[in-house]
Amino acid sequence: MAHVTTMSSAEPTRRDFLYIATASLAGIGAAATLVPLIAQMNPDASTIAAGAPIEVDLSPIADGQVIKVFWRGKPIYINHRTQKQIEEAQNVDVAKLPDPQPDSARVKAGHDQWQVLIAICTHLGCIPIAHQGPYDGYFCPCHGSVYDTSGRIRQGPAPLNLALPPYEFVSDTKIKIG
Amino acid sequence: MASARAIIALAVLLAALSAPARAQMEEPPAPPTNKWSFAGPFGKYDRGQLQRGLKVYREVCQVCHGLKLVAFRTLADPGGPGLTTAQAGAIAAEYQVKGEPDDQGEVKDRPGRLADTFPSPFPNDNAARARYGAVPPDLSVIAKARGYERGFPRWVGDIFTQYQEQGVDYITALLHGYKDTPPAGVKIPPGSFYNEYFPGHTIVMPPPLTDNRVEYTDGAPMTVEQYAKDISAFLMWTAEPHLEARKRIGMQVFIFLIVLSALLYFTKKKVWHAVELHPKELKPRPPSEYPRA
Amino acid sequence: MSGHPTYQPQNGFMKWMERRLPIGGLVYSSFIVYPTPRNLNYWWTFGGILAFMLGVQIVTGVILAMHYTPQVDFAFNSVEKIMRDVNYGWLLRYLHSNGASMFFLAAYIHLFRGMYYGSYKEPREVLWILGVILLLLMIMTGFMGYVLPWGQMSFWAATVITNLFSAIPLVGESIVTWLWGGYAVGNPTLNRFYSLHYLLPFVIAGVVVLHIWALHVAGQNNPTGVEPKTDHDTVAFTPYATIKDSFLMAVFCVLFAWFVFYIPNFLGHPDNYIPANPAVTPMHIVPEWYYLPFYAILRAIPNKLLGVMALGASILILVFLPWLDTSKVRSARYRPLYRQFFWVFVIVCIGLGWLGGKPPEGNYVLLARIFTAYYFAFFLVILPVLGKVEKTKPLPNSILESVLRKGTPLGASAPPPKGVKV
């Protein structure tokens, strides 16, 4: 090990304090230096601004039509569900689902016909295709996950239901996502 | 050292003699220095001044000059004009920006949003030149893109006084440096104007400011001098929006480094104490590799 | 740096590692127990400072590269995006741009230290030449880095410096076209400069390893120029040299912080905040301050090809310094005549730097020619002659002796320090 040649000085405690103080301050400085180096990789201000909430006008969406919009770089399905699809989504034994969740928890109250989902398969991230699969819901072509008209996982390797983005109805025909 | 001194003296003399050789070229005069609230190690922007400067930009300058690097949301950022997000959003909505292509592939205008930047008055430089005969520069970083020769030894002093305001001093002087009648013997081509501080003295921009041109509601004088200072301060902010954070963090870093240097100095003294006290006596150390003459 | 027999790892893991990849032993022998002359002054700390600055530039540079776009329509705006939007982007950018200046400042001090104390002399010639190679690599790296923000100065400096190669007879124009990747400086040029600017610092790091290796083989020079003879002449690198290096590194950082936080654009040129315009040349094209002396030499010669050759020669002549200097005495401490010429040389270099920033008119041209003449005469005439005719002062017998005499050689009238018997 390194051999520090020192004569015994009158007050070893004072010398040690100096060494400890210097080393501590240098350590604090090194840690503080790391902060900007790591923080710079977080989303920058323009990225955060571009991820601001968006408003979507629902009136052009026909009954049974699904449109895709983007928010924060993620695809969002807005599904104008038919009455048949709504009933199929509600008449389900929730306990038997792989990821149990009633349809009412996946729509806004009084707006059952509007299904707003993040269109990213919870398995490995592909975009499921709308109006596909045995439930007329969504089908992910990558590994065969099947979702129903509520976006809940029914068959296949995906573990969870399709996620919901934060959104709210600013009027009956307009939602704000984000 | 006598011969070396003589040579040095000769060199300095030659240098000094050569300096006046250039002074008579048409270099414009150095603009007067102003007091700026953001100058110096503790400098901060004056919010009111930045808001007045923003008003001057929107009512006078933006007809010709873009600000395309400045996002509307930054108007609400700390260290800036200090608008609320709602106010910044309202200003953004006053502008029309190009939207995304719609379903038919058409690109239509839409009101600006917080995330957008100030739009340029022209789609490109050629359009600007066709209208005015010259391209009005974008003002986003103009306060850093302009300056003037400080000359020796002033630039040495600048290192200590932290003078970084060449740009804004120049812009302020330029904005009220117009003269209705140029000095005798100076010809100004038609369509141009004489400006005392512009290099070459011939500027295509017409005098943009007149007294009472912009209404100030906070009691600041509505004079050309005040407008010039306010718009310059605003342009300093557009060029350096993080100035306040920079100087604040700088002070912390500076103090930290001074304290660390002092501690390291005393540590060094302590470590070397024994060696310096008894140079001939060093405790046995691992064998070295020095079998050298 | 041969395997040091005295590294005895206590830790189980280190024992295991040492048998497989003896990095512990290498660090121990090179940077902990490595014998360092005990009389090194603070001019010797700049090597460590340079290594630190290389680290700073690489770290800040790699991070900036995460946010920069090397395309002519986007480069300038991407740098402004870094300044405005990226978290602490303004800090990283100013660290990198001012860091380049600090890097060159330390390099020049390090170089002049070597010239003053004869650190280039036998057996350190290769060490010195590796240093000149490092300087060349730094110059290339800095030049290409300055082009990347694609401001007016970036573009026109690229145009002027690449055009220098057209001075080469026969193949000059082809070389310039090859460098540009087009018929003028443009997007291909920007892209390849970006690639090389990212690459060269790692080449520099590799040459630094060779540089330190060469240093450790020969051992450090010291202010007396007398090689260590006994163990009393040296101290262990850690903690003695380490703490001195750390102290001056902190002081150096104070200066660095002063520039970065308070006068970040002092060393730059306002014209580089104007986006590059191939149709408009700035009034005065000036490189950054660290290239100004070479720029002055280039412009001092009225002939295009000879000016370019003088520019190259002004750096390459350093390679031959160990052989041009004929003196048997290393350190300028004991060479009173050389010392005077050396200081005039320093003034001349600073003068050339000042002249490089002035327009090439009137008396400035005359002065630049005089200074350029001295610059080359110093290497080609003064040094060879001085070694033969100079009367040097007597050297101390050993480093220890010079330390006991507080650095003055035997024969001087300084009394020994109190209480110490020689």
Is there a single domain that holds both residue A58 and residue A38? no
- Domain range for B147 is 23-70+117-241
CA B119-B120-B121 angle, to 5 degrees, is 115
Whether pLDDT at C337 is above 90:
yes
Q: Report which residue type is found at C396.
A: P
**Rounded Cα gap, residues C341 and C380, in angstroms:** 13
Whether pLDDT at C318 is above 90:
yes
Confidence of residue C8 (pLDDT cuts 50, 70, 90): confident
**Residue-level pLDDT at C114:** 97
**Residue-level pLDDT at C413:** 43
Confidence of residue A3 (pLDDT cuts 50, 70, 90): very low
Confidence of residue C2 (pLDDT cuts 50, 70, 90): very low
Note the helical H segments in A40-128: 45-50, 83-90
- Among C253, C244, A17, C261, smallest CA distance to B257 is for C253
Q: Which residues of A touch C29 (CB under 8 A)?
A: none
**Residue-level pLDDT at B185:** 83
Whether residues B250 and C247 touch (CB distance < 8 A) is answered with no
**Residue-level pLDDT at C27:** 92
Q: What number is the average pLDDT over the span C163-186?
A: 95
Is there a single domain that holds both residue A103 and residue A32? no
**Rounded Cα gap, residues C351 and A145, in angstroms:** 75
**Residue-level pLDDT at B281:** 65
Q: What number is the average pLDDT over the span A9-33?
A: 83
Interface subset of B 189-218, CB within 8 angstroms of A = none
Give the H or E element holding residue C236.
strand C234-236
Domains identified in chain B, total number? 2
Interface subset of B 28-57, CB within 8 angstroms of C = 41
* Nearby residues of C90 by Cβ (< 8 Å), 6 or more positions away: B242, B245, B246, C82, C83, C84
Is there a single domain that holds both residue B180 and residue B262? no
**For C216-246, how does the pLDDT look when each residue is reduced to its tens digit (9 = 90+)?**
999 999 999 999 988 888 999 988 999 999 9
**For C23-40, how does the pLDDT look when each residue is reduced to its tens digit (9 = 90+)?**
999 999 999 989 999 999
Both tokens of C39, joined, read: 């009389």
Whether residues A26 and B71 touch (CB distance < 8 A) is answered with no
Neighbours of chain C (3+ CB pairs under 8 A): A, B
Instruction: Please report whether residue A5 resides in a domain.
Output: no
**Residue-level pLDDT at C422:** 47
Q: What number is the average pLDDT over the span C388-393?
A: 93
Both tokens of C82, joined, read: 């870094």
Q: Report which residue type is found at A167.
A: Y
Whether residues B144 and C265 touch (CB distance < 8 A) is answered with yes
**Residue-level pLDDT at A158:** 94
Q: What is the CATH classification number for the domain harbouring B125?
A: 1.10.760.10
DSSP code of residue A89: H
**Rounded Cα gap, residues B242 and C160, in angstroms:** 34
**Rounded Cα gap, residues C81 and C149, in angstroms:** 12
Note the helical H segments in C23-171: 23-27, 46-65, 75-84, 89-117, 125-147, 152-163
**Residue-level pLDDT at C414:** 46
- Characterize the bridge pairing of strands B96-101 and A66-71: unpaired
SS3 B46: coil
**Rounded Cα gap, residues B133 and B143, in angstroms:** 23
Listed range (A64-78, A90-104, B94-108, C3-17) with the worst mean pLDDT: C3-17
- Characterize the bridge pairing of strands A153-155 and A146-147: antiparallel
Instruction: Please report whether residue A99 resides in a domain.
Output: yes
- Closest-CA residue of A relative to B117 is A46
Both tokens of B10, joined, read: 């000769």
Is there a single domain that holds both residue B252 and residue B230? no
Whether pLDDT at C421 is above 90:
no
Instruction: Please report whether residue B104 resides in a domain.
Output: no
Buried b (16+ CB within 10 A) or exposed e, B95-125: beeeeeeeeeeeeeeeebbbbbbbbbbbeeb
Is the bond into C37 cis (omega within 30 degrees of 0)? no
Whether residues B254 and C261 touch (CB distance < 8 A) is answered with yes
Instruction: Please report whether residue A36 resides in a domain.
Output: yes
**Residue-level pLDDT at C411:** 40
Decide if C400 touches B, using CB distance below 8 A. Answer: yes
- Out of B3, B22, B272, closest to residue C340 by CB: B3
**Residue-level pLDDT at B284:** 46
- Closest-CA residue of C relative to B139 is C274
Instruction: Please report whether residue B106 resides in a domain.
Output: no
DSSP assignments along C250-303, one per residue = HHHHHHHHIIIII-TTSSS-GGGGSBP-TT---SS----GGGHHHHHHHHHSSS
SS3 B69: coil
Q: Which residues of A touch C85 (CB under 8 A)?
A: 44-47
Least Cα separation, residue B263 to chain A (angstroms):
6
Whether residues A42 and C87 touch (CB distance < 8 A) is answered with yes
- Characterize the bridge pairing of strands C35-37 and C234-236: antiparallel
| Gyration radius (Cα) of chain A, Å | 28
**Rounded Cα gap, residues B127 and A84, in angstroms:** 58
**Residue-level pLDDT at B293:** 33
Q: What number is the average pLDDT over the span A54-78?
A: 93
- Closest-CA residue of C relative to A37 is C63
- Characterize the bridge pairing of strands A137-139 and A146-147: antiparallel
Both tokens of C190, joined, read: 């920007």
**Rounded Cα gap, residues C178 and B48, in angstroms:** 55
Instruction: Please report whether residue A107 resides in a domain.
Output: yes
For domain C289-324+336-391, the question of CATH label 1.10.3470 is answered with no
Both tokens of C285, joined, read: 């094209």
- List residues of chain A with CB under 8 Å from any CB of chain C: 1-5, 26, 35-37, 39-42, 44-47
**For A99-134, how does the pLDDT look when each residue is reduced to its tens digit (9 = 90+)?**
999 999 999 999 999 999 999 999 999 999 999 889
**Rounded Cα gap, residues C238 and C251, in angstroms:** 20
SS3 B60: coil
Instruction: Please report whether residue B293 resides in a domain.
Output: no
**Rounded Cα gap, residues A93 and B185, in angstroms:** 97
Instruction: Please report whether residue B236 resides in a domain.
Output: yes
| Strands annotated E in B46-158 | 96-101, 107-111
Diameter over CA atoms, chain A: 92
**C27-266: CATH class:** mainly alpha
- Among C45, C153, C343, smallest CA distance to B2 is for C343
Q: Judge contact between B55 and B220, C-beta under 8 A.
A: no
Other C-beta atoms within 10 Å of C19: how many? 9
Instruction: Please report whether residue B57 resides in a domain.
Output: yes
Q: Which residues of A touch B257 (CB under 8 A)?
A: 29
- Among A43, B146, B260, B240, smallest CA distance to C94 is for B240
Least Cα separation, residue A161 to chain C (angstroms):
35
- Characterize the bridge pairing of strands A174-177 and A54-57: antiparallel
Least Cα separation, residue C137 to chain B (angstroms):
29
- Domain range for A19 is 10-42
Domains identified in chain A, total number? 2
**Residue-level pLDDT at C316:** 97
Whether residues A6 and B274 touch (CB distance < 8 A) is answered with yes
Interface subset of C 229-248, CB within 8 angstroms of B = 229-236, 239-240, 243-244, 246-247
Is there a single domain that holds both residue B201 and residue B256? no
Q: Which residues of A touch B267 (CB under 8 A)?
A: 18-19, 22
Instruction: Please report whether residue B265 resides in a domain.
Output: yes
Q: Judge contact between C138 and C207, C-beta under 8 A.
A: no
Is there a single domain that holds both residue A32 and residue A54? no
Q: Looking at the DSSP assignment, which residues form a beta bridge with residue B111?
A: B96
Q: From its phi and psi, is residue B205 left (phi > 0), alpha (psi between -120 and 50) or beta? A: beta
Whether residues A2 and C10 touch (CB distance < 8 A) is answered with no
Residues listed for chain C: 422
Instruction: Please report whether residue A146 resides in a domain.
Output: yes
Is there a single domain that holds both residue B48 and residue B178? yes
Instruction: Please report whether residue B107 resides in a domain.
Output: no
Residue A77 phi/psi, 5-degree rounding, is: -90, 130
What's this model's pTM, rounded to 2 decimal places?
A: 0.90
**Residue-level pLDDT at B20:** 42
Sorted by where each begins, the domain ranges of chain C are: 27-266, 289-324+336-391
CA C401-C118-C26 angle, to 5 degrees, is 80
* Nearby residues of A107 by Cβ (< 8 Å), 6 or more positions away: A114, A115, A150
Is there a single domain that holds both residue B151 and residue B255? no
Decide if C386 touches B, using CB distance below 8 A. Answer: no
Instruction: Please report whether residue A62 resides in a domain.
Output: yes
Q: What is the CATH classification number for the domain harbouring A154?
A: 2.102.10.10
Whether pLDDT at A91 is above 60:
yes
Q: Judge contact between B264 and C247, C-beta under 8 A.
A: yes
Both tokens of C36, joined, read: 């360092």
**Residue-level pLDDT at B4:** 59
Is there a single domain that holds both residue A35 and residue A54? no
Both tokens of C259, joined, read: 């520039």
**Residue-level pLDDT at C325:** 96
Whether pLDDT at C415 is above 90:
no
Is there a single domain that holds both residue B269 and residue B228? no
Both tokens of A114, joined, read: 């509007």
**Residue-level pLDDT at C135:** 98
- Out of B18, B280, B293, closest to residue C363 by CB: B18
Neighbours of chain A (3+ CB pairs under 8 A): B, C
Residue B272 phi/psi, 5-degree rounding, is: -85, -5
* Nearby residues of C249 by Cβ (< 8 Å), 6 or more positions away: C45, C48, C49, C52
Is there a single domain that holds both residue B263 and residue B130? no
Instruction: Please report whether residue A110 resides in a domain.
Output: yes
Place of tokens 């410096």: C161
- Out of B256, B267, B282, closest to residue A18 by CB: B267
Diameter over CA atoms, chain B: 91
Listed range (A55-69, C58-72, C97-111) with the worst mean pLDDT: A55-69
**Rounded Cα gap, residues B39 and B161, in angstroms:** 9
- Closest-CA residue of A relative to C34 is A2
Neighbours of chain B (3+ CB pairs under 8 A): A, C
Is there a single domain that holds both residue A75 and residue A155? yes
Instruction: Please report whether residue B162 resides in a domain.
Output: yes
Q: Is the sign of the CA dihedral B260, B263, B265, B267 positive or negative?
A: negative
Is there a single domain that holds both residue B127 and residue B260? no
Spans of chain B, pLDDT less than 70? 1-26, 279, 281-293
- Among B211, B221, B288, smallest CA distance to C36 is for B288
**For C190-202, how does the pLDDT look when each residue is reduced to its tens digit (9 = 90+)?**
999 999 999 999 9
Is there a single domain that holds both residue A153 and residue A86? yes
Give the H or E element holding residue B47.
helix B47-59
* Nearby residues of B67 by Cβ (< 8 Å), 6 or more positions away: B57, B117, B118, B138, B139, B140, B238
Q: What is the ipTM of this complex?
A: 0.90
Is there a single domain that holds both residue A34 and residue A75? no
**Rounded Cα gap, residues C122 and C165, in angstroms:** 35
Instruction: Please report whether residue A87 resides in a domain.
Output: yes
Give the H or E element holding residue A137.
strand A137-139
Both tokens of B37, joined, read: 């609230």
- The catalytic residue positions of A are 143
